[in-house]
Structure 1
Amino acid sequence: MIVTLILAAEVAFWVVLGLALTARYVLRLRTVSTVLLIGLPVLDLTLFTLAVLDLRGGATASWTHALAASYAGFSLGFGPSLVRWADRHFQYRFAGGPKPARSPKYGSARTRYEWQVAGRTTVSAGVTLGLITLMVPLSAGAAAFSTFTAWYLRLSMVAGINLIVAACYAIWPKEPPAGAIVEDGHVVGWEIPRQHQQL
């Protein structure tokens, strides 16, 4: 049952997000759009609540319950940035907005970007593990903890790796190619044409 609910929540997330952006930029209904966007984390929290009710109803703890918790964690950690990404691309394609900028590649802008990703990953992992921990006493106690052990290890590793990557960019910032003119982490021109640099 939980797998079906997870699939339904995934589909509902993108449908509601699409409706929210359509309401905002096509129909000019900003209030409706805002209400729909607020509903996005509610979908994931509802999924988690249903997983908890499933455990309280006597279901055996499994990876599907942990996955339901991870949706709520992802929504809190990455939800706002995902909505902003979708908003920029929707504006560009359907509302005459500017072309979305790519992620920065060089210098301090890239370092800040990596720390932002690491922060979101840490929040997502922390919330997910907290919710999974809340599930343990609702099911078979020690047996449930054993079932969820892999999630503790996996999510801790993912968060740790992201923090290490961000720290590496802070210590060794990625330098742009020689002669490049860089703004906000992007190459916007060249001091000397590239073909001349190769001569």
Structure 2
Amino acid sequence: MTAELYHFLYKGLTLKTVGLVMGAALLIGHLVALLKPDQVKGWLKALPRNEKFGLVLVAIDFAWALLVWSEMDLGEFYNVERPVQLILILGCIGVMTYVREFLAVRAIGFFFILAAAPILNAAFLEPPISRLLLVALSYAWILIGMFWVGMPYLMRDQINWLLAEPKRWKPAALGGLVYGALVLVCAVAFY
């Protein structure tokens, strides 16, 4: 089963599927932020220290990392497959036990880094230039993800900056909405 999931994530996703899913997710997420700002603002404010969400997402992240490590071709490093699998499992337990501060932020950053690879694989060497919308988003996720894993207080500061002035919320939500709509239109029309 893990081989099929790995193949689906890293070789089976088409650019059209990824574009439709990402466009719809961006569109819906930012539309909700635009239509229900008070609820979304409250949720965002609590997100960096949301331990339950962090624990669930860390488990998903480490399971995904374990899947990648277990199914990828390691070549001459095949001998270290089992020890690294054990390290990943113990690392997951250790993070869940001892790294509780801003756990949700670190988990989101880790998730962004992991999620970028299937998107980039789907866009690799595809003809439409509009695929770069997904490529740019993926690289932004990788960059943001690294900072959030290493310096998780940055997400809290970014959320506080966004919420500090009421005039910042609407342009941010509209920007995400337009980007999502653009990705969705490109997925339907060109991919």
TM-score by length of 2: 0.29
Structure showing the higher helix proportion among its residues = 2
> Which one has more relative contact order, counting CA pairs under 8 Å at least 6 apart?
2
Structure showing the higher strand proportion among its residues = 1
- Which structure has the larger Rg? 1
TM-score by length of 1: 0.28
